[in-house]
Structure 1
Amino acid sequence: MALRLPRDALVPLLVLLLVVVHATDATQRLEMVTSSAPARGGAGAGTTSRARVAAASCASWRLGVETNNIRAWYSIPAACRGYVSDYMFGEQFRQDCAVVAREAAAYAEGLALAGDGREAWVFDVDDTALTNLPYYADTGFGAQPYNATYFEEYVANATAPALPEVLGLYGKLLALGIKVVFITGRHDYEREPTVKNLRSAGYHTWEKLVLKPSSLGSSVVPYKSGERQKLVDAGYRIVGNMGDQWSDLVGAPEGDRTFKVPDPMYYVA
């Protein structure tokens, strides 16, 4: 006998089914990004001609962002929200991160290290050592205005996953005897959750963790370049510098070589 439900019971059931499917899909896509294994597949299959044209335009926009030709932007183009979501959750982002990490590892392994413990590698934290994709998945992947209150709550929870390719590079650097220094734009009052998060994500050892004093202005370049200068003044040799923003990497002393992790979700000057 077929089960017949009253009509007024069907709508709540359908809503519940849609919520469960959406939540499951978001969780699976996040696991693809934070898993140590590269994702398979990607966006584009079955897309319409108009969608393909939009994706091509957004790909060109992302290229402009990554090459620092497009600057001082405040949010991703509204039409590119789906493209950025597919990129961040897809195979291409993982491949791009893997290329950066592989080149950085090859460079580090080819260095003639002095072995005196003074060679240092600088890492940014947000969206470099750790990925904030869980936060950005909830806030439109950069299409919505930055929510400082929500982001501070996210930082306080100390649950950001490691970016797997960067975590792998970190382990190789330690094995080579290169000291790791984290210089982050997070504020000094966020030290405790940042330490907790780094350790839980797999970053167990570092030489220094530098957080931005609350009294400093919003510009990142003077702060980060100034902290790198302090390292040099203390006798460290910065052999490498990695971040997701150009403001992590510019401003003397930049380090002997810089490596940028892809990030089309936001711009920090």
Structure 2
Amino acid sequence: MALFAEVRHPSSAKAPLVLLHGFGGIGAVREPVLRRLDPDLPLVVYDLPGHGRSLDADGVGHGGVMARAILADLDRREISSFHLCGHSMGGAIASLIALKAVDHVRSLTLLAPGGFGPEINHEVLRRYGSAVETGELALGLAAMSAPGSIVDAAVLERLADARRLPGATVRLMEILNSFLVETNGRIGQGRLPLSSFEGFGVETRLLWGAEDPILPVTQASSIWKAAEVTLIEGVGHMLIDEAPEAVASAMAAAVEAG
């Protein structure tokens, strides 16, 4: 089964911005950011393998497997040049895509990406991944956000619709387990091959919430030297909901520069 993506302005001569959500998300949760972007900007907004309308698509697995699936889908769509933006797990996938297809990537924007250090709050992710109804999802998102953050009710409804699909939460647990590793009795996340990014020539922007309860903000220091790093005070892991203006600004700057 092919991956689902919402494609906007496919006939545009400009390179599209490809968006990859985090674990347990769907492409539709990007709406708080998308409404702040140029309405004429060409976009490819994916539901990642095993999520939403890509629930039964090929490519379910760890970050490397999903990166290959996204690249194959972009090739199928005859998109040979693109900007990339990924959040959390989607950030790890975006990084791997950029490494594998550096000549095709115009810019890379990472939002609290996975794979930059071993620490990860897997217990909160497990609770979030098993949530189905809006109340459970709201609690899960609150646990990933800075205190006082409010999630858009429409986002919760879209997530709940995706979680009610048969097998959705089972698939999410499979995905979560695929990128968790146990070392010396402690559960953490697999790490990206960060040494491979030395001399990485793609313009990169990294945004991280200073109060991230899922991936410690200290992991931002692992980014390659040429990247532009922005740490956002008072924000947790869910940057799209908590800091949509900053995220939209970074995306727009990446597209304009590339």
Global fold match (TM > 0.5): no
TM-score with structure 1 setting the length: 0.28
Q: Considering fraction of residues, name the structure with more strand.
A: 2
- Structure index of larger Rg: 1
TM-score with structure 2 setting the length: 0.29
